[in-house]
Structure 1
Amino acid sequence: MNLLRKILFPFAVLYGFITSIRNFLFDKGILKSTSFDLPVIAVGNLSVGGTGKTPQIEYLIRLLSNQYKVATLSRGYKRKSEGFILANSTSNAEILGDEPFQFYQKFPNIQVAVDANRTNGIVQLLLQKSKPEIILLDDAYQHRKVKAGFYILLTAFDDLYADDFILPTGNLRESRSGARRANIVIVTKCPKNLSDVKQEEIRLKLKLNCSQQLYFTFIEYDDAIYNIEDKIAVTEIKSESKVLLAGIAKPKPFFDFLKTENDECLIFPDHHHFSETDLNEIQNKAQGKKIITTEKDYVRLKEVRMISKLYYLPIKSTFVNHQQNFDATILNYVKS
């Protein structure tokens, strides 16, 4: 914790008080929450960014979309549009935001919508000719004007909410007690071989109640990089000199997976909109080398201008153990 964050501690106390009052008013029904007559699953976190919401939403899409009509609803962070938008063939990352556009491109059999007003967004989805049977709310844990039927809370292995504090001293959007609203807590970005002893240690630290389930996941990288025309095995390019580019909250694992001593790493802010100057800088750094980026950055970069030799590395969320239990819990909720 740096000095400035310590100095801002009184503001963190005030912010925590305000968010606690807000949650109390929603809990008591004084502030209105709207429920809907279909399964609504909210995925989110207590902290600011970097917990792996996108791969977790994608996991749920894969689990559910073969059996049900699924829609995702996101705010569309940093999009250059307003109001409710349902993705279609004219959509791009600037209109939808990078993560919803990624969902739209990867999963053509689902509906993808954005609206900062999640209540209105759900209403608009239900007015569509082909209504969804399940709605996945992306980054909506604090959006309490909608009362979801099921809440999944994510917390990163190396940045547990139990070890954090409220903004601006820490990175929490609300107090740790907000975790009580979750049906399931998932510790993301774990080591692949996380031991049972360490899992139990984390379980005790998080202090979940007896009705809450706890799972552990890790980020699994694809064994190939891709672009519109090509697919190359990671083993083929690992020792090759290349440029690695990331505009995500926590890029270190991405770099660590691909980097060798001859590679150059370019870091941009999360959800960064790449300018012409940025693109020229990237091309100049590459000098004909392959440029490998994250899937989220790729959907933005290929929209503004196709950069030569640009590839992306897909990731997915994989359970350390008890995946079948998680799947069964979600499917049972939907069926009920």
Structure 2
Amino acid sequence: MARLLTYLLLPLSWLYAGVLAGRNWLYDRGWKPSAAFETVPVLSVGNLRVGGTGKTPHVAWLVAWLRARGQQPALLSRGYGRRTRGYRRATAADTAATIGDEPLQQFRQFGGAVPVVVSEDRVAGIGRLLLQEPAVTAVVLDDAYQHRRVRPAFNILLTEQQRPFYQDFVLPAGRLRESRAGAQRADVVIVTKCDPALSAAARTTITENVRRYARPEVPVLFSCYDYGPPVPAAGPAAGAAPGPEVVVLTGIAQPGPLLEHLAAAGYRVAAHHRYPDHHAFTPAEIGALAAQLRPGQVVLTTQKDAARLREPALAASVADLPVFYIPITVRFLAAGDTRLAALLNPYFPPHAVV
């Protein structure tokens, strides 16, 4: 049935893809303006597919790499899901409602040491950021692959191993934001959420499939997730430790890898309260979860979801809930981190280090 529906929707996908192809053609030929920034490198991290490719942890890896090299990066996002508009620099007083859950997570992850800015107009946002933050030596654009008004110095394209762009279709028949040909703009393609034991032969096959659409010389790298121990996030979780039976709360696009990790780590998931990506939790939803929680059980969630659980409107609802989040970090396979660093190094020569 799903395959039949895909075929029925293909004419609409072709129409949508055609409109986007025309838009990209105008940008490629300079008939629509695209701004480049010469003073600092602009690094873009994005995807062709709607949601769930692992942008946030890869952005965190990139920011950490830049800081380790002595750079002062800044993050710029449109702030998806926020209830504000315009340019806004994240502060300790912000919430997911004011800047979006992912920018809030990034701001807290780096302890405020990395400027995090949200702006729908990324051209104006970068310009204002560079004026207000003269120490910034690199700007990382989060989820800006289709934002052609900015011409990044380096374009990172992410695609999942289990849902690669080369097997998908453009909306509404599939989940692609534009056609597979969009991979031509990538300077590197990272295949994410890989099986850590992915064989060399499998990597070769995936690389060949990617290069049917990307430029032939573009490197194809592979990454997986490493999961850390549960971190107290809310309620009476501090000083406690999760038992073997847990309740999972997610509002992300792809919770499957998290559930697989929990099963492998020996947790038994008594219930999974699953919501759409970027879902704004309500007191009623948290109350329903609390009513199902039995003695000895704790709530496990993601770091991004934990950011939304800290909304002031939810303070009373989560006050008595033992909530932990599972941190994730990116690990590259087959020395992919070394290869990516070699691609990025020319943009940050030693004399530019501050």
2:224 and 2:107 mapped to 1: Cα distance?
24
Amino acid at match of 1:324: T
Structure 1 residue 321 displacement after superposition: 1.7
In 2, are the aligned partners of 1:68 and 1:133 still within 8 Å (CA)? yes
Bigger drift between 55-64 and 250-259 goes to: 250-259
Note the residue ranges of structure 2 that are not aligned, 5 or more in a row.
none
- The 2-side partners of 1:312 and 1:137 are apart by 25
Do the aligned partners of residues 179 and 32 (structure 1) sit closer, same or farther apart at CA in structure 2, a change above 3 Å counting?
same
Native 8 Å contact 2:95 2:310 kept in 1: no
Contact 2:35–2:150 (8 Å) recurs in 1: yes
Q: How many percent of aligned residue pairs carry the same amino acid?
A: 36
Structure 1 pair 205–129 and aligned structure 2 pair: CA distance change class (3 A):
closer
**1:1-336 alignment runs, 5 A limit:** 1-37=2-38, 38-66=40-68, 67-107=70-110, 108-207=112-211, 208-227=214-233, 230=238, 237=242, 240-259=244-263, 260-261=267-268, 263-288=270-295, 289-303=297-311, 304-305=314-315, 306-307=318-319, 308-322=321-335, 323-335=337-349
Conservation of the 8 A alpha-carbon contact between 1:114 and 1:121 = yes
TM-score by length of 1: 0.94
Tell me the TM-score normalized by structure 2: 0.89
Matched AA of 1:18 = V
Matches of 1:231 and 1:171 in 2, distance apart? 42
Q: Specify whether residues 73 and 231 from structure 1 end up closer, same or farther in structure 2 by C-alpha distance, changes over 3 A only.
A: farther
Decide which moves more: 306-315 or 9-18: 306-315
1:262 to 1:192, Cα distance in 2 relative to 1, 3 A: closer
SS at match of 2:177: coil
Q: Secondary structure at the match of 2:348?
A: helix
1:243/1:263 contact within 8 Å kept: yes
CA contact (8 A) 2:226 2:328 kept: yes
Letter in 1 for 2:90: A
Q: Deviations over 1:166-223 (max 9, x none)?
A: 1111111111111011000000000001111000011111124343111000011113
**Range that drifts further, 239-248 or 166-175:** 239-248
Q: After superposition, what is the alpha-carbon deviation per residue over 1:28-58, rounded to whole angstroms, capped at 9, x for unaligned?
A: 0000000112100000001111100000000
Deviates more, 1:256-265 or 1:240-249: 256-265
Comparing 45-54 with 129-138, greater Cα deviation is found at 129-138
1:125 deviation in Å? 0.2
Q: Distance in 2 between matches of 1:75 and 1:261?
A: 37
> What SS does the aligned partner of 1:8 have?
helix
Which deviates further from its counterpart, 1-10 or 73-82? 1-10
Greater mean deviation of Cα atoms: 140-149 or 165-174: 165-174
Alpha-carbon RMSD across the aligned residues, in angstroms, is 1.7
* Separation (CA, whole Å) in 2 of partners of 1:163 and 1:293: 30
Q: Per-residue CA shift, 1:93-118, capped at 9, x if unaligned?
A: 11110000000001121100001111
Give the 3-state SS of the residue equivalent to 2:132 in structure 1: coil
Distance 1:3 1:284 in 2: 41
Q: Which moved more, 1:17-26 or 1:297-306?
A: 297-306
Which 5+ residue runs of structure 1 have no aligned equivalent? none
